[in-house]
Amino acid sequence: MTILDGNKISNDIKNEIALEVQKMKDKGEKVPHLAAIIVGNDGASLTYVGSKVKACERVGFESTLVQMSNTTSEIELLDKINELNMNPDIDGFIVQLPLPSQIDTQKVLLAVNPDKDVDGFHPTNFGKMALDMSTFIPATPFGILELLERYGVETKGKHTVVIGRSHIVGRPMSILMGRKGFPGNSTVTLTHSHTKNITQITSQADIIISALGVPNFLKAEMVKDDAVVIDVGITRVTDESSPKGYTITGDVDFENVSKKASFITPVPGGVGPMTIAMLLKNTLLAREHHRK
């Protein structure tokens, strides 16, 4: 069994990006600049955005954090997005999800300039992805592809089962794994809350990508020997014995599933750090695109 080490691979990617940034600096060019908008004070979202800003510093990017109150109106947020769209100094930006209920998420995603949409959530970019055109691929699916590629995990002709059809992970992942090329060329089954007899489906999978958010959902008896198991779950589970009062728990019963798997991602230290590295990669691509 091989652990797909997201900490190591994301560090490698950050080092590669830092080298590119150094070359830009040496030539006197402007370095990439990522902005992030966060609305409200959800603890998990603040942590994720904080990690994104810290990662920018680590590779030499400029970063801007825009914090807006929980009572921000839709129009105030759309104004801020327009400001970032128009600001030539910003190469890419993200609006951290989820948003408070008074704001229509679809309207917000549509307002982001697709050329600066480093999350790859705008329908233009999502459509390009589905049509194999060059674009920003959403960071979490992009990170999973990168892990599979760098560990040389075979995907061609394999049966990939994706659990969860979220717009951020499950849906794009199901498209990407079926695309021509590597990683890709697999036969994909997308499962969700209405899927019947999920164990029958997962136990036929060569590759399982679980993006459900239900701690320890995937048990050893749902997985066949030598399966590749990718765990996208990052649920905070109350744990009085931990200093933070919670532990981050994945969708996969790691202790037992890892005994059967050929490759598996841990939580934490698997897909999570890859998401941040690929957001930086998308920002670098946005910078290069704007320079041309």
* Catalytic (active-site) positions: 52, 96, 119
- Type of residue found at 272: G
CB of 203 to ligand GUN, least distance (A): 29
φ and ψ at residue 104, rounded to 5 degrees? -85, 110
- Runs of H (alpha helix) within 95-252: 105-111, 123-130, 139-150, 170-178, 198-202
**Which H helix or E strand runs over 85?**
helix 74-86
CB of 214 to ligand GUN, least distance (A): 16
Query: Is 62 exposed, middle or buried, given 0-12, 13-18 or 19+ CB atoms closer than 10 A?
Result: middle
Nearer to ligand GUN, 158 or 281 (CB): 281
Nearer to ligand GUN, 182 or 246 (CB): 246
CB of 128 to ligand GUN, least distance (A): 18
Residue whose CB is nearest to ligand GUN in the complex, by number: 97
Q: CA–CA separation, 102 vs 69, rounded Å?
A: 12
Nearer to ligand GUN, 78 or 97 (CB): 97
CB of 206 to ligand GUN, least distance (A): 26
Half-sphere exposure of 203 (CA within 13 A, CB side): 8
Nearer to ligand GUN, 111 or 205 (CB): 111
Q: Give me the residues that bind ligand GUN (CB under 6 A), please.
A: 94-97, 119, 139-140, 168, 275
